[in-house]
Amino acid sequence: MVFVTKPPNENFSYARTSNNVSKLFSGIPLVDLTKPDSKQLIVKACEEYGFFKIINHGVPMDFITRLESEATKFFSMPLSEKEKAGPPNPLGYGNNHIGKNGDVGWVEYLLLTTNTESNSQSSALNDYISAVKKMACEILELMAEGLKIQPRNVLSKLLMDEQSDSCFRLNHYPLCPELQGLSSASARNVIGFGEHTDPQIISVLRSNNTSGLQISLGDGSWISVPPDQNSFFINVGDSLQVLTNGRFQSVRHRVLANGLKSRVSMIYFGGPPLSEKIAPLQSVMNGEEESLYEEFTWFEYKKSACSSRLADNRLGHFERI
Ligand code: GA4
């Protein structure tokens, strides 16, 4: 089974800016969490791309490698064993099919809860999730500081809430036989995970050293993100776009299959409690500024996302005209 798209016009493109003037794309924004300018760089990256890379993140390398080897071990089991952890609705093992509405991709995955009590059988998973959640909260606090909104935990408290509806995903993109032996110039694009935005607030992604992730600049072009197994990549989700009244943009991204090396990624999706009202924070609104969106709860948005296709513009249904 192959899922093909037209080759993209990669890495020569224009990015949107806060004043809507295009400028030449100058690389994936890089944020060093230990540097004092990190909050300004984070705000700029969220406004321009909704995407950036984090170095000096403080997550112990040992937590990462332990979980990666557990993931690799799981995905190398016979299909019949893996299927015992399925189907993936809402959590569990799945392959080739993503969501419930006909999306397909060259991928297998495990969707998990972030609840440490339910995951008590894997200390590697729990250690990793706790450390990545802490980093995600630190980043959300830097965003609040950079946006000059009070209190500084106005965003991070949504993830810290006991009722926070966050989830975790392990993805395995196997070697794609269709692409084996083809140079990247002659290879077609086989879709591993189709283009989409993440519905939550923030996503924290870590992958092994295999390429495949691409982000969209919103002008039809796709930028390949060079893999870096020692860093994390952060995505702004749809909910954060709404909370900032469109100041931050959720990033459209996708993963292409690879003919040379398999890819393993692990993603933490930080979401609010189901009952949380998702609306622009009062403190981000200037003067007479009005909300760009109808009011909805995370429960309502999640429900609507579950009945959509991956590539749909899910926020479109909630935009005020
Ligand atoms: C994208 C982000 C997360 O991986 C996810 C995905 C979810 C799923 O795999 O079941 C969705 C997708 C994601 C958005 C639209 C719907 C739901 C597949 C799909 C077609 C777990 C999530 O929360 O939303």
161-171 confidence digits (pLDDT tens):
999 999 999 99
- What is residue 204's predicted lDDT score, i.e. its pLDDT? 99
Q: Which of 97, 98, 114, 191 to mutate to test the pocket of ligand 1 (most atoms within 8 A of CB)?
A: 98
155-195 confidence digits (pLDDT tens):
999 999 999 999 999 999 999 988 887 766 666 889 999 99
Cα(99) to ligand 1 centroid in Å equals: 6
- What is residue 120's predicted lDDT score, i.e. its pLDDT? 83
Residue 306 beta carbon below 6 angstroms from any ligand 1 atom: yes
- Count of Cβ atoms closer than 10 Å to residue 40 Cβ: 13
Q: Residues with catalytic annotation?
A: 263
267-288 confidence digits (pLDDT tens):
999 999 999 999 999 999 999 9
In this structure, which residue's CA is closest to atom 11 in ligand 1?
99
Cβ partners under 8 Å of residue 217, min gap 6: 13, 14, 15, 16, 25, 49, 223
Q: How many CA atoms are closer than 13 Å to the CA of 152, on its beta-carbon side?
A: 8
The CATH fold of domain 28-307: Jelly Rolls (2.60.120)
Residue 112 beta carbon below 6 angstroms from any ligand 1 atom: no
Mean pLDDT of 13-30: 69
Angle between helices 123-147 and 38-48 (to 10 degrees): 90
Structure tokens at 291: 């909300």
Task: For this complex, say whether ipTM is above 0.95.
Answer: yes
Q: Measured from the CA of 109, which atom of ligand 1 is nearest?
A: 9
Q: What pLDDT band is residue 11 in, cutting at 50, 70 and 90?
A: low
With a cut of 80, say whether residue 40 has pLDDT above it: yes
- What is residue 185's predicted lDDT score, i.e. its pLDDT? 64
206-260 confidence digits (pLDDT tens):
999 999 999 999 888 999 999 999 999 999 999 999 999 999 999 999 999 999 9
Cβ partners under 8 Å of residue 118, min gap 6: none
- What is residue 73's predicted lDDT score, i.e. its pLDDT? 98
With a cut of 70, say whether residue 303 has pLDDT above it: yes
Mean pLDDT of 51-79: 98
- Count of Cβ atoms closer than 10 Å to residue 5 Cβ: 14
In the chain, how long is the greatest CA-to-CA distance? Answer: 59
Listed range (54-58, 138-142, 170-174, 217-221) with the worst mean pLDDT: 217-221
- What is residue 1's predicted lDDT score, i.e. its pLDDT? 47
- What is residue 101's predicted lDDT score, i.e. its pLDDT? 97
Q: Give CA–CA dist 226/98, Å, rounded.
A: 24
With the CA atoms of 242, 246, 247 and 249 taken in that order, what torsion angle do they form, in degrees rounded to the nearest 10? 90
- What is residue 197's predicted lDDT score, i.e. its pLDDT? 98
Cα(274) to ligand 1 centroid in Å equals: 16
Q: Are 82 and 108 in contact (CB under 8 A)?
A: yes
- What is residue 59's predicted lDDT score, i.e. its pLDDT? 98
With a cut of 70, say whether residue 14 has pLDDT above it: no
Q: In this prediction, what percent of the chain has a pLDDT beyond 90?
A: 84
Between the alpha carbon of residue 190 and those of residues 24, 139, 172, 291, the distances in Å are 27, 33, 15, 39
